[in-house]
């Protein structure tokens, strides 16, 4: 047995490495292409509706006048919460919502950019002066969550937060029966 042995394949490891390097480069290329397509698509097709609210006139009338803030039951049984962020608080600073039904938040800022998030949920938006931020969520269980401002907005930023109280739907409906707007501000 001589002369016919197959020479050991010394460059097989190199070939495998080169193949994996190509896979890694391909993944990067795919991600860059996805980012470019996503960015271009968003730039050429803006959101279907951008709602605006003049931050200088929120308190004078319209949707965000003080008497219209808080939680309200819509004809379809869902709940709408309207609130304002301003340096350095939210109004109302205790938001009441029922568990188990869709809750739509409509928020805006009266001055600078604030952050709006509710702990233990994936609710996380920016409140930009001039624009209305909306998000719909459903809270599964009653309980108290916190709502800290998460965008640095000035010296009082770290003290800017509100509470969100999620209560039983039946209890919420009872309270909503004789009041137009609900909150848990004491
Ligand atoms: Cu408002 Cu930070």
Per-residue model confidence as pLDDT tens digits over 49-106: 788 989 999 888 889 999 999 999 999 989 999 999 999 999 999 999 999 999 999 9
Q: Rounded to the nearest whole angstrom, what is the distance from the C-alpha of residue 148 to the centroid of ligand 1?
A: 8
Given a contact cutoff of 8 angstroms between Cβ atoms, the answer to whether 55 and 33 are in contact is no
Task: Please list the residues that pair with 97 across neighbouring strands.
Answer: 166
What's the CA gap between 84 and 17, in Å, rounded? 56
DSSP label at residue 41: H
Banded model confidence at residue 186, pLDDT cuts 50, 70, 90: confident
Residues 151 and 170 sit within 8 Å (Cβ to Cβ): no
Of ligand 1's listed atoms, the one at least distance from the Cα of 156 is 2
The predicted-structure confidence for 106-139, as pLDDT tens digits, reads as follows 999 999 999 999 999 999 999 999 999 999 999 9
What are the CA-CA distances from residue 65 to residues 54, 58, 92, 106, 108 (Å)? 12, 6, 12, 13, 12
Residue 61: per-residue pLDDT? 86
pTM of the model: 0.76
Report the atom number in ligand 1 closest to the C-alpha of 114: 1
159, 137, 138: which is closest to 148 by C-alpha?
Answer: 159
Ligand 1: centre distance to CA 114 (Å):
5
Per-residue tokens: 50: 């951008």
Q: Find out whether the beta carbon of 166 lies less than 6 Å from any atom of ligand 1.
A: no
Q: How many angstroms is it from 112 CA to the middle of ligand 1?
A: 8
48 CA from centroid of ligand 1 (Å): 28
Ligand 1, atom 1: nearest CA belongs to which residue? 114
Q: Is 160 in the pocket of ligand 1 (CB under 6 A)?
A: yes
Q: Which residue has the tokens 């929120």?
A: 58
- Helix ranges (H only) for the chain are 12-44, 169-177
Tell me if 90 CB under 6 Å of ligand 1: no
Of the listed ranges 3-7, 42-46, 48-52, 79-83, the least confidently predicted one is: 3-7
């Amino acid at each position: 047995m001589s002369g016919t042995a197959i020479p050991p394949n010394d460059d097989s490891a190199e070939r495998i490495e080169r193949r994996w390097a190509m896979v890694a480069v391909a993944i990067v290329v795919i991600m860059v292409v996805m980012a470019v397509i996503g960015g271009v698509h968003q730039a050429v097709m803006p959101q279907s509706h951008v709602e605006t609210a003049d931050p200088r006139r929120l308190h004078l009338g319209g949707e965000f006048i003080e008497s219209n803030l808080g939680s309200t039951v819509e004809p379809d049984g869902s709940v709408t919460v309207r609130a304002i962020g301003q340096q350095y608080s939210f109004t109302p600073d205790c938001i009441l919502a029922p568990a188990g039904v869709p809750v739509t938040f409509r928020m805006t800022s009266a001055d600078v950019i604030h952050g709006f998030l509710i702990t233990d949920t994936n609710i996380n938006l920016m409140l930009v002066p001039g624009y209305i931020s909306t998000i719909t969520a459903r809270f599964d269980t009653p309980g108290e969550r916190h709502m800290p401002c998460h965008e640095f907005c000035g010296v009082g930023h770290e003290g800017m937060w509100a509470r969100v109280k999620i209560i039983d739907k039946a209890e919420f409906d009872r309270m909503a029966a004789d009041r137009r707007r609900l909150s848990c501000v004491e």
